Amino acid sequence: MSEQDTRRQLIDPKLKEAGWEVIDGSRIITERYFTNGRLTQSGRQAKSRYDYVLIYKNVKLAVVEAKKSGMSYGDAVGQVKDYNEQLKLPFAYATDGNEIREMHYVGDACHEQDVEAFLSPEEMYKKAFPENNEVEDALSQIPLNRGIFKDSRYYAESAINKAISAIARGKKKILLTLATGTGKTHISFQIVWKLFEGKWSSSGLGVRMPRILFLADRKILARQAYGSFGQFPDNMLQLIKPGASKAPTNGSIFFGIFQSLMTGQKPLYEDYPKDFFDLIIIDECHRGGAVDDSSWRGILDYFDGVKLGLTATPRREENADSYDYFGEPVYEYSLKQGIEDGFLSPFKTHVIETSIDNYVFNNKDEVLMGDPELGKVYTPDEFNRKIQIREREKKRVQLFLNEMNPDDKTIIFCQTIDHAALVRDIINEEVEDKPDNYCVRVTSDDGDVGDNHLRTFQDNEKVLPTILTTSRKLSTGVDALNVRNIVLMRPVKSMIEFKQIVGRGTRTYEGKYFFTIYDFEGASEHYADPEWDGPPLEKKGKASGSTSDDGEDLKPPKPPVAEKEFIKIKLADGHERSISYTSKILYNAHDKPVTLEEFIETLFDESIPDLFEDEFKLQQIWSNPQSRGQLLIKLAEVGYGQAQLKSVQALVDAKDCDIYDVLRYISFRKNMQKRSDRLLQSRETFYKTIDAPHREFVDFVGNQYINRGVWELSQENLPKLIDLRYGSIEDGKNALGEINLIKNTYDEFQKSLYIEGVA
């Protein structure tokens, strides 16, 4: 039996016998992809797909992996366990239609046994949720709102279910930790939707509609959330405007920023009774609201309602410890997992250092402002806060402009608001024939003009503005899908902020297979921290958090009275022209960004070189179309098919090279050669051994090779090449002779491409 036959003739009847109707979308979902497949530079890797998911009372209870009859179900056990590691369902089954292996998950434990039959829907539900109370049962069975979102991602459903369960069981503080770009606002909307549909409130179930407060620390976040709840009637939504003299009470779901609620002689939030809100959602809760001595904490402590914290990055010692306040997250979804699943974009990092990152003043350079100390070393932290050298900023701008596509949307993080203006001006000077508003500044100083630029930038249909410069305003709250470049021109000491900044580029978009971080400030050192994509480490201390008026850009700190005023230097001509730089590229591997050599080691394990033993053996195999085809099959079997090889080819900047050169480089650290140079080499040697008609055919084949790569030189492709060049196989034979002669020329030409002694 095939797997399809096994399912239809053996597994489906057993499910039906247990009470599961085999109806897509009812009690069983069949053959559904639940990940998008990791993005690569040549497309996507394979998606994850389950065979069955069993649903009862609108709750997903089990995933089932099928294998064709006659194969041991054991082949499916590991796979279904891997699937359920992501899906987090109470049950998983592996079966070949004859034998059934059941896995029941209780907390962190997995209880396995062979069973004769599947549990019935009611039995499975009771066994899955033995401690459910009436409220949890009622809320969990309410379907998600599909008005805007056709289908929630698996992790979103898990997060929603975990939060609803915690609310139903009376937990007062709840934390959800999900990577930036994974839809925390959508998740909070679905939680609120279920609560409204179930008429849940602090008064009980079915008594009245709840009242919800959605709190953010930036106006843009509050406005985005307000817009995302559009499935609710307008009269239910209320935006608490900054500067309001009276707290609004008409509505059911309120959106505001901490700063608005803290204004006035008596804080605005005290206009509300303590029990007014049943649920308070704190967006980006790591940004200071949980710290003991923060004035924001007064809002959280004042209200009696359930507090639900949303964050991509729980704090450790840098500020409030979110875990201290909320407890452990009820659900976590990491950046690494999001990239592996294909829901987030991978990235690579250009780390660039210049010879003027540390500066020692000398009398040859011109002082435009201030009183620099002769011989003093000015460090990167001091640039654009205490000292500014325009030529330095110009050099750094030129470096990333030379690397990036000028049409790609880009966000540049600068040291201060004034620095953001300087970088904007330099970019607009450096880009030739630039359109108006090519590069604009968006900071708190830019007010409505900056906000309008940001909204236009977020519109994926519009190309202008293309580049935004900012200081701190855009580190969170920018939901722009098509950001291709993030440029760091200021130090980023905080892991929290670094993760937030990286998150500006992780959203996926059609045709966007990765984004690039240009790091001029050494922020990529954070990749080495165990907290980069893991839980926060033990806190080492606690400091109070703070933001400016709207939590946006901070002005340059005023220096102490004893300190010198701000310094501006103009480099001497010779000094300016002597600025040099070094760079390296870090690639986004499965755990953290690493050097190219480390990245290659994560892709090609020790078994890969075993397929060709040494460099000479690889050359022999590759120069023959038949043996090369067999090697490519073996590579595909161990996970490196055409798409993966092309992806690696692009990553090592070898798009114009042969895959052969990529393998030599990876396995033996040999230099790579362009396909065009290989063809030139063949013309100098092999062409002398064949007549004019065959040289003409080889020229045609060689051009196909240059344009399309080694895939054009397969044994199976020869008839197509003859047909393309001569119109038919017969016409090709008339021009070149019998097929055996043509094939011999084709094979010998390929040997000439890969002769010994290639550089």
138-180 confidence digits (pLDDT tens): 999 999 998 765 567 999 999 999 999 999 999 999 999 999 8
Of 746, 740, 392, nearest to 580 by C-alpha is 392
Q: What is the pLDDT of residue 551?
A: 38
**355 and 488, same domain (yes or no):** yes
- What is this structure's pTM? 0.80
Return the pLDDT at 534: 63
CA separation for the pair 473, 413 (Å, rounded): 9
Backbone angles phi, psi at 366, to 5 degrees: -90, 135
Residue 589 pLDDT exceeds 70: no
> pLDDT tens digits, residue range 71-113?
777 778 999 999 999 999 999 999 999 999 999 999 889 999 9
Instruction: Assess if residue 663 is contained within a domain.
Output: yes
Phi, psi angle pair for 329, to nearest 5°: -60, 140
Whether residue 159 is contained in a domain is answered as: yes
670 and 741 both lie in a single domain:
yes
**Do both 391 and 414 map to the same domain?**
yes
| Same domain flag for 245 and 377 | no
Split at pLDDT 50, 70, 90, the class of 531 is confident
Greater confidence, 404 or 561?
A: 404
Coil, strand or helix at 92:
strand
Which of 310, 339, 368 represents a domain boundary (last residue)? 339
Burial class (CB in 10 A: 0-12, 13-18, 19+), 65: buried
Q: Which residues pair with 146 in a beta bridge?
A: none
Token pair, residue 262, equals 């803290």
CA–chain centroid gap for 634, Å, is 30
Whether 238 and 256 share a structural domain: yes
Last residue of a domain, one of 128, 152, 185: 128
> Which residue, of 314, 339, 364, is where some domain finishes?
339
Q: Are 162 and 117 in a shared domain? A: no
Residue 518 pLDDT exceeds 70: yes
Q: Give the CATH number, domain containing residue 109.
A: 3.90.1570.30
**Number of domains comprising the chain:** 4
Residue 424, domain CATH: 3.40.50.300
Residues 6+ apart with CB under 8 A from 384: 393, 414, 415, 416, 418, 419, 422, 490
Q: Is residue 145 domain-resident?
A: yes
Q: Determine the 3-state secondary structure of 40 from DSSP.
A: strand
Is residue 80 within 8 A of residue 54, CB to CB? The reply is: no
The answer to whether 188 touches 281, Cβ cutoff 8 Å, is: yes
671: DSSP letter: P
Tell me the backbone φ, ψ of residue 104, rounded to 5 degrees.
-110, 120
Query: Any residues with CB less than 8 A from the CB of 639 and at least 6 apart, and which?
Result: none
Which pLDDT score is estimated for 758?
41
Cis peptide before 465 (omega within 30 of 0): yes
The answer to whether residues 624 and 733 belong to one domain is yes
Same domain, 159 and 123: no
> What span, in angstroms and rounded, lies between the C-alpha atoms of 36 and 44?
8
Q: Quick check: is 587 in a domain?
A: no
**Residue 758 DSSP code:** -
Q: Which residues, 6+ apart, have CB-to-CB distance to 510 below 8 Å?
A: none
H-run or E-run covering 296: helix 295-302
Q: What confidence category does residue 591 fall into, taking pLDDT thresholds of 50, 70 and 90?
A: low
Average pLDDT over residues 498-519: 91
**Percent of the chain beyond pLDDT 70?**
88
- Residue 298 located in a structural domain: yes
Same domain as 83, residue 185: no
Q: Which of 114-123, 219-228, 285-294, 304-313: highest mean pLDDT?
A: 114-123
For residue 149, the enclosing domain spans 134-339
Higher pLDDT, 196 or 27: 196
Task: Give the model's pLDDT for residue 669.
Answer: 80
What is the secondary structure of 609-632 as a DSSP string? GGGT-SHHHHHHHHTSHHHHHHHH
Residue 588 has pLDDT above 50, yes or no: yes
Q: Which spans in 484-624 are helix H?
A: 495-502, 573-577, 596-603, 615-622
Domain check: are 43 and 178 in the same one?
Answer: no
pLDDT of 11 > 90? The answer is yes
Q: What is the dihedral sign for C-alpha 639, 642, 643, 646?
A: positive
Torsion-angle region of 568 (φ positive above 0: left; ψ -120 to 50: alpha; else: beta): beta
Are residues 285 and 401 located together in one domain of the fold?
A: no
Can you tell me which residue has the tokens 């480490």? 537
701: helix, coil or strand?
helix
552 assigned to some structural domain? no
User: Does residue 555 form part of some domain?
Assistant: no
| Amino acid letter, residue 645 | L
Tell me, yes or no, whether 39 lies in a domain.
Answer: yes
> Do residues 42 and 149 both lie within one domain?
no
